[in-house]
Amino acid sequence: MELFDRKDRENLNYAKNRHSTYRFYDGSAKEEFVRVRERMNDWFSYYPSDHQGQLKSDFKAQFDSAYFELFIHELFLKQGFNMKPHVSLDASTKTPDFLAVKEGLEIYIEAKVATDLTEAEVALRNRQDILLDSINEIPCKDFWLSINRLEFKTSRNPKTATIKAHIRDSFQDLRDELKGFEGSQNNPDFIRDYFYSDDCLDLEYALYPSTVEPEPLIVSQPPVAFWGGSDESIRKAVSNKARRYGLLDKPFIICINAISYKYTTARDAFNAIFGNHWVTEDGIEVIHHSDVNGIFNNTTPKFTTVSAVFITRTSPHNAHCTEHWLLENPSARNPIDFSHLDLSYYKLVDNKIVEIKKTGVPQILFGNNLPTEIAIENETL
């Protein structure tokens, strides 16, 4: 079985805002998506055959979660682990995603995607995506469109036909204005702002005269402003999984793919796991002053069933430059022998966060085939 079947493909368009990610990858003929699809097919070929059917179904229903499960399988497989999906437990009817086995070491592994979106925010984003996809259907060869502000006033769906007509009229108005002007295309002096409002929404957008036909029409969307980082969503995701299986007789790693729109950093990872803190540089170490809200708090041990938390922010297109933070629980009931893992990790030593440098995710996944021209440096606190 293959994750994506071999067939002729002709779709050279980019994905819409609202789309099935699996169907898009399955149908795309664009070179950059072909490469990613082939990589996922390769990883899928090493997934246990008796579980491939379920994982393929999961890809169609919940792409992000299924991709992260496949990513974790490949990451630990490349470190020499035998990966057994959904093994049964004596103390629970629930099953962890994997049992990883290597040289006498057995580790339960759970894979979880974490976002910062509430159900209401997801619903709002879906409404926005439907509108933006509709706007992108407007044919235009001489302007780029930038959405500067989009604010919904009610829960009712907007009249997309009226909005599209307003935008088409603005195209013609600007064309008429620019007649006779030399050098107006690709010239920022000729960018024009427009405003549309009705009972459902306010929309502010700008038109950029261009010699390049946009694909899609909307080249930028409203900026997202927020306060704080993604640490709270990580903390919630770990907490939800930490007691899922009761007491375990083996080490347990919870793997989090923090794909928050807030862009996860090392500080978010440390805040979530070791507690909100401030830091001071001390040679190669970082002094750690923690509050009590961390998953692993060294003054009041909790979540002792969890041996470590692995945090990353990965997607099918950034596997070659994926960062990670693997954080050891100093109070784990079943500690991990990290000599069996190739991944760099962090531990608390005398109230300091110390990095034990080993290997990064890209090197494990790609080895000598890592594209050096796209390699990135690790973040610092």
pLDDT in tens, the chain (381 residues): 999 999 999 988 888 877 789 999 999 999 999 999 999 999 999 999 999 999 999 999 999 999 999 999 999 999 999 999 999 888 788 999 999 999 999 999 999 999 877 777 778 888 888 899 999 999 998 999 999 999 999 888 889 999 999 999 999 999 999 887 877 777 888 899 999 999 999 999 999 998 888 888 888 887 765 556 788 889 999 999 998 888 899 999 999 999 887 788 888 898 888 876 555 455 444 555 555 567 887 567 789 999 999 999 999 999 999 999 999 999 999 999 999 999 999 998 877 788 999 999 999 999 866 654 333 333 332
For the whole model, what pTM was predicted?
Answer: 0.80
227 burial level (CB within 10 Å; 0-12, 13-18, 19+): exposed
- Report the C-alpha gap between 18 and 33 in whole angstroms: 17
Alpha carbon distance 107, 245 (integer Å): 13
Supply the pLDDT for residue 373.
35
Give the Cα separation of 83 and 81 in Å (integer): 6
Question: Order of strands across the sheet with 218-220?
Answer: 192-197, 201-209, 143-152, 218-220
Coil, strand or helix: which one is 68? Answer: helix
